[in-house]
Amino acid sequence: MTAGLRLGVLLGDGIGPEIVPAAVRVVDAALAAAGAAPVEWRELPLGAAAIDTHGSAIPGSTLEALAGLDGWLLGPHDSAAYPEPFRSQLNPSGTLRKHFDLYANVRPARAFEGGRAIAPDTDLVVVRENTEGFYADRNTFAGTGEWMPTPDVAVAMGVFTRRAVERIARAAFELARRRRNRLTIVHKANVLQLSSGLFKRVCLAVAEEYPDVVVDDVHIDAMTVHLLRRAADFDVVVAENMFGDILSDLTGELAGSLGTAPSLNASDDRAMAQAAHGSAPDIAGKGLANPVAMVLSAGMLLDWLGTRHGDPRLGDAAVRVDDGVRAAVRDGVSTRDLGGTASTDEFTDAVVARIEG
């Protein structure tokens, strides 16, 4: 059993200061209902506000403080709106993933009863390798991994290593064992025979360690079609960085909305809860933001911490978070993007009420 958790709060930009506090409220209610010790929350500067106060979108003091915590909630950032030179630097999310080697980005997609799912039977998880692949900014010690030898030529670096593929494959197979024992490897090895081919070959080699898991592999372009036609047939999907990012946005919409798409970024010893959507600056401060994805991401963090620390109360609290959100939506309480009329605070109140009552 664990003592009280110490968790960081990074509000971020746009709707972050609305949806992250909503997640904190729900987590506190779920932990209390599960009989777990309360969280010691520590708010830390990040994003546009941190540029104003600390001269950096992600101050060194924030990185130092996070290293001493059990995990943290990261709100969305609007790095495209940052002034230079901050706009051209690695964004806060990428910096945190790289600094703490958060190699596994786990993105569930499960449709809501009473929601607006395109594919109501969707219940799958995309496990995305988070440190290399075709995202050039993850592939270098310094710099972005992109360069222009002339004004008319742009080159990006893609990197695949056996070590990174092995560890994401094992994370995906372990998750498949806790779900329905099915795993799909997504790649483009027919064209990218060396890079994507290595990803496929290493995943298949790791599969030999998991004879109880049924495995298949699908080309990335074909996978988009399969998901549209038969999303319910898939359980755990493992993919490199960019493929996994694209597929998880697609599966989030199939399940209802990116506003309901949670994610967890994890290494072997720490994790960061982060909604899959952006900062939505057009509705910031209006009470319209849907907090579901951020709340569910926080629930995923509780589940991860419960497994890591062997504390069933944290796992119980994670279930209560998920059940509370789904009960509210099922009962017709939702924000405008899901067809309802509830404000951010009103929806959060409904979730907390269902957890407590």
For CA atoms 312, 316, 322, 323, the dihedral sign is positive
Residue 144 has what pLDDT? 80
Displacement of CA 29 from its chain's centroid (Å): 22
What is the gyration radius of the CA atoms in the chain, in angstroms? 20
Per residue in 290-327, pLDDT (tens digit) is 999 999 999 999 999 999 999 999 999 999 999 999 99
Q: How far is CA 87 from CA 83, 92, 153, 276, 293, in A?
A: 6, 10, 22, 20, 25
Residue 51 predicted with pLDDT over 70:
yes
Could you give the CA distance from residue 4 to residue 285 in angstroms, rounded to a whole number?
32
* CB neighbourhood size of 349 (10 A): 16
Which tokens hold the place of 168?
């994401």
- State phi, psi for 255 to the nearest 5 degrees: -80, -5
From CA 295, how far away is CA 146, in angstroms rounded?
35
Report the C-alpha gap between 237 and 107 in whole angstroms.
Answer: 10
Give the tokens for residue 199.
Answer: 């990803």
Q: Is the pLDDT of residue 81 over 70?
A: yes
Structural domains in the chain, CATH included, are: 1-111+257-357 (3.40.718.10), 118-254 (3.40.718.10)
**Per-residue model confidence (pLDDT) at position 136:** 81
CB-based contacts of 298, cutoff 8 Å, min separation 6: 23, 24, 26, 27, 73, 273, 321
Which residues are CB-contacts of 69 (< 8 A; sequence separation ≥ 6)?
A: 6, 7, 8, 42
pLDDT over 90 (residue 330): yes
| Catalytic residue set | 135, 188, 221, 245, 249
pTM (predicted TM-score): 0.93
- Is the preceding peptide bond at 85 cis, omega within 30 degrees of 0? yes
pLDDT tens column, 162-220: 999 999 999 999 999 999 999 999 999 999 999 999 999 999 999 999 999 999 999 99
- Dist. CA 89–CA 69, nearest whole Å: 25
